[in-house]
Amino acid sequence: MWLFHATTKNIKGNTTINTMAKSRYKVHRFSIEMNEDQDRLEQFLNGLEGEVVTIIPNVAPTFQLMGATAKVKFLLIVEKITKK
């Protein structure tokens, strides 16, 4: 995925062009059992070479005897790749 900075207009209406900075991102899918996988998640995050931008949980509804609840099925972890 490539992200580019856009042009902006200042108060006087002049258009300024920002430098076209390119950033690369990688999305990891991490299956998880919330009660059991804390150590595994910690090892995974510490093993990443880039910067973690965000962690997005995939939450699905579940129905149990006590009523409706939700469960995290997996995490999407967005990593910003640094160029060497």
Number of domains the chain contains: 1
Q: Does 13 reside within a domain?
A: no
Q: Does 32 reside within a domain?
A: yes
Read off the pLDDT of each residue in 5-10 and give the average, rounded to a whole number.
47
The model's pTM: 0.66
Q: Does 41 reside within a domain?
A: yes
pLDDT of res. 3: 45
Q: Does 17 reside within a domain?
A: no
pLDDT tens, 20-51?
557 889 999 999 887 788 899 999 999 999 99
Domain residue limits at 57: 24-81
Measured CA to CA, the distance from residue 56 to residue 77 in angstroms comes to: 6
DSSP summary character for residue 20: -
Q: Does 8 reside within a domain?
A: no
Q: Does 1 reside within a domain?
A: no
